[in-house]
Amino acid sequence: MKKGIMIIVFKNGEAEGRDVSQLVESVKWTGRKSSAARSITFTLIDDDGYKHERYSIDVAEGYQCVFYYDDVELFRGIIMKQKQSDKKKLELTAYDLGIYLSNNKDTYCYENKTASDIFKDICSRYEIPTDEITKCTYSIPELSKSKTSAYDAMCDALSQDFDNTGVRHYISSDKGKLSLKTRRENIVQWVVEVGSNLSTYTFEKNIEDVKTRIKMYNDENTVTAESIDSTLESKIGIFQDVENYDDSLSEAQMTDLVKSVLAEKSTPKQNLNIEALGITDVISGIGLFVIIPQLNINQTFYVDEDTHTFQDRKHTMSLKLNFASDIGKDDPSEAAKGDYSVGDIVTFNGGNHYVSSSADSPTGGTRSSGQAEITLIALGAKHPYHLIGGAFNSLDGNCNVYGWVDAGTFS
């Protein structure tokens, strides 16, 4: 292994592949929420030159590739497109295992199955290896999809699950296996901030699809639950939507559901596009904490679409983000959130800090002690508290902590 870009290409059935890293000019690694598969497009020198050989490939013969960056595997998949020209460049595009969901069609019929049950069945049907499969709780009474893709069937299942639980799930591919994960449980809690690692941004906010009240109807078209956001209605007027629900739900479940749906639909759409220094953990489906003081933005967004560009030792990322409206749902009581809150001023004991709440190794050397502010909390993470010391804000002292720290390292 070596630092920087490393790409191994191998033909199906081969035990070992070929390292083509010395021929690579650039790599684009991308994904979006509405797509089943992530992809990479990499450009190779396509010429017999000094100290290298021209690489020959035919995608119809079945080729795979593995992409590493700084010794970490980021992508593994099948090469499906090649393009050559008189410019002596060979451009290759590969897709991860998600492509087997979008490129397989059939008729799917399920009764009283959860989204995770359906995910397991689809992966088994097309011999797709799996890893982590989160347990979905809602049993879908009936799901029937005729002559459609496996991905469309899964999207329908996950949509019904969300409509009845308020919890979002997503599909991801890692090291040659597919997983079904819960979105809000996989927020890596990286932070991007103007003046630090965020270079450009554009922000849009609109209320065109906002609803201020929701009515729930049963199969007999009788209203059985309703929720109204009176405060919002006093500002923008009445915008109503209706929903059907499963008759098996109890009255308490219906009440919780209508409130959950209203909370989702009463939130204005907030779309944020940013360009920043590359962070390989930040991909579609996970959350990112963004700080833009100029727009009073200090919150978590979901990554809808990401494009990571690698060239030489430079790594940048372009992201399309939307507000994470389901963060905080089903939270325990305030007392269960711990002894500290965002905004508390504490005394840091000095020591290590980390670039993310899940990082394995500290960064930036030992940090000095002193006053610091808690700016983020991710209870349950390896390093659950994000601190910013007096060296970077108006607090007294020169404490230079600026990152995630362990519980017990401050008081």
Domain ranges of the chain: 5-96, 100-184, 187-206+269-323, 213-265, 334-405
The average pLDDT across 166-181 equals 89
Q: Where are the beta strands (DSSP E) in 175-277?
A: 177-182, 190-193, 198-206, 213-217, 223-228, 240-244, 269-277
CB neighbour list of residue 201: distance below 8 Å, 6 or more residues apart: 194, 272, 273, 274, 275, 292, 295
d(CA 335, CA 332): 8
Contact call for residues 79 and 61 (beta carbons, < 8 A): no
Quote the pLDDT of residue 391.
86
Topology of the domain covering 187-206+269-323: Elongation Factor Tu (Ef-tu); domain 3 (2.40.30)
Least confident of 154-158, 226-230, 351-355: 351-355
Q: Where are the beta strands (DSSP E) in 128-183?
A: 130-133, 140-149, 169-174, 177-182
Q: What is the CATH number that goes with domain 100-184?
A: 3.55.50.10
Pick from 359, 408, 373, 392: nearest CA to 400: 392
| DSSP symbols for 88-134 | -EEEEEEE-TTHHHHS-EEEEEEEEE-HHHHHHHHHHHTT--EEEE-
| DSSP symbols for 22-35 | GGEEEEEEEEETT-
CB neighbour list of residue 331: distance below 8 Å, 6 or more residues apart: 337
d(CA 196, CA 12): 44
Quote the pLDDT of residue 284.
87
d(CA 345, CA 36): 44
CB neighbour list of residue 239: distance below 8 Å, 6 or more residues apart: 210, 211, 212, 213
When the pLDDT of each residue in the chain is averaged and rounded to a whole number, the result is 86
Quote the pLDDT of residue 351.
93
Beta bridge partners of 314: 311
Quote the pLDDT of residue 333.
33
Q: Where are the beta strands (DSSP E) in 312-369?
A: 314-323, 345-348
Quote the pLDDT of residue 57.
83
DSSP state of 62: -
- Do domains 5-96 and 187-206+269-323 share one topology? The answer is no
The average pLDDT across 303-330 equals 81
pLDDT band at residue 330 using 50, 70 and 90 as cut-offs: very low
To which H or E segment does residue 301 belong? strand 297-311
Own/partner contacts of 252-255, CB < 8 Å, gap of 24 or more, are: 254/216, 254/224, 254/225, 255/225
d(CA 31, CA 95): 10
Condensed to tens digits (0 to 9), the pLDDT of residues 38-48 reads: 999 999 988 76
What's the one-letter identity of residue 244?
N
Condensed to tens digits (0 to 9), the pLDDT of residues 262-312 reads: 988 998 888 899 999 998 888 887 778 888 989 988 777 888 999 999 987
Largest CA distance in the chain: 77
Question: What predicted TM-score, i.e. pTM, was given to this entire model?
Answer: 0.71
pLDDT greater than 50 at residue 373: yes
| Superfamily of domain 5-96, CATH level 4 | Baseplate protein-like domain - beta roll fold (2.30.300.10)
